[in-house]
């Protein structure tokens, strides 16, 4: 049998999602929990590889097992062996050909900015604090240049090992909620640090600290032409979207409803 689960986590104290040597990761925590409740080694697939310090609202992972137990027992069993900063929310039995990563057709992220002279005392671990005034209209106008299919070589980490820099942005919108600015991005897939560089460049442009437009930066195909990489702590993986025939299709559909301050 194959199961898929939705997961949320605070990535502050983890070295990203993917298992690594000599570092604590989300994948490691989940697989160790599954081993404890199944008494077997379990390897999971997952929908998106988040970097160190990045959070998630609805990460999806799947695993195979011959053990029969009801969904609530799976959730309670896995969560009982996880730290308080990681939690399984829902679990589904899925077809054998389902793959959290390869079955996904879209992925969504939200980046949270706090634009104020005053420090965001209670949200410091979950947003990027910008003290200089951001021109929100400029930011919104520039962001629309990301829409469509582009080569995102200018918006990838220099350590990114993806063979294909061409990605499609289906939607990008920027919303203000008091002093918070939330940038929502939906794409077929993302390169390493892509959203953080996109947001960092938008902020630099909106503060008049960058002379090129987003269109110009895209055309340069050069990381040095883009702006700063925004800090990891402001980034939230909202989750993947699947085809109509998938049970996970209807998890959450509205980005702003998925992330609420």
Interval 133-168: pLDDT, tens? 999 999 999 999 999 999 999 999 988 888 999 999
Does residue 51 have an active-site annotation?
A: yes
C-beta pairs of 71-74 under 8 Å, 24+ apart in sequence: 74/3, 74/5
The predicted model gives 35-55 an average pLDDT of 94
CATH topology for 2-103 is Alpha-Beta Plaits (3.30.70)
Rounded CA-CA distance 50/55 in Å is 8
CATH topology for 106-238 is Alpha-Beta Plaits (3.30.70)
52-70 CB burial, b ≥16 within 10 A, e <16: bbbbbbbbbbbbeeeeeee
On the question of pLDDT at 43 being above 60, the answer is: yes
The predicted model gives 232-260 an average pLDDT of 66
Query: pLDDT, tens digit, for every residue of 180-198?
Result: 999 999 999 999 999 999 9
At residue 122, the 3 state secondary structure works out as coil
The predicted model gives 53-82 an average pLDDT of 94
Task: Tell me what pLDDT residue 161 has.
Answer: 87
CB-neighbour burial class of residue 214 (10 A; exposed 0-12, middle 13-18, buried 19+): buried
The predicted model gives 55-66 an average pLDDT of 95
How many alpha carbons fall within 13 Å on the CB side of residue 189? 16
Residue in the structure block whose two tokens are 């269109």: 215
**Which residue among the candidates 51, 62, 135, 151 is catalytic per the annotation?**
51
- Would you kindly state where each structural domain of the chain is located, as residue ranges? 2-103, 106-238
Instruction: Return phi, psi of residue 51, to 5°.
Output: -80, 170
106-238 has the same fold as 2-103? yes
Rounded CA-CA distance 214/200 in Å is 11
Task: Tell me what pLDDT residue 251 has.
Answer: 46
Confidence of residue 41 (pLDDT cuts 50, 70, 90): very high
């Amino acid at each position: 049998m194959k199961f898929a689960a939705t997961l949320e986590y605070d990535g502050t104290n983890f070295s990203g999602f993917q298992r690594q040597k000599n570092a604590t990761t989300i994948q490691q925590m989940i697989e160790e929990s599954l081993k404890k409740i199944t008494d077997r080694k379990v390897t999971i697939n997952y929908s998106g590889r988040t970097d160190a310090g990045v959070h998630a609202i609805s990460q999806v992972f799947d695993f195979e097992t011959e053990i029969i137990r009801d969904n609530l027992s799976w959730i309670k069993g896995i969560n009982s062996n996880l730290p308080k900063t990681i939690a399984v929310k829902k679990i589904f039995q899925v077809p054998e050909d389902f793959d959290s990563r390869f079955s996904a057709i879209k992925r969504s992220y939200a980046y949270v900015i706090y634009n104020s002279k005053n420090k965001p005392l209670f949200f410091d671990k979950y947003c990027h604090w910008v003290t200089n005034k951001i021109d929100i209209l400029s930011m919104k106008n520039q962001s629309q240049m990301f829409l469509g299919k582009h080569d995102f070589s200018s918006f990838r980490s220099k350590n990114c090992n993806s063979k294909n820099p061409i990605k499609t942005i289906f939607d990008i919108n920027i919303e203000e909620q008091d002093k918070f600015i939330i940038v929502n991005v939906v794409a077929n897939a993302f390169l390493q640090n892509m959203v953080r560089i996109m947001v960092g460049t938008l902020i630099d442009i909106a503060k008049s600290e960058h002379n090129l437009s987003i269109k110009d930066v895209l055309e340069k195909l050069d990381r040095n032409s883009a702006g700063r990489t925004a800090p990891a702590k402001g980034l939230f993986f909202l989750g993947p979207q699947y085809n109509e025939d998938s049970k996970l299709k209807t998890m959450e559909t509205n980005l702003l409803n998925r992330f609420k301050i």
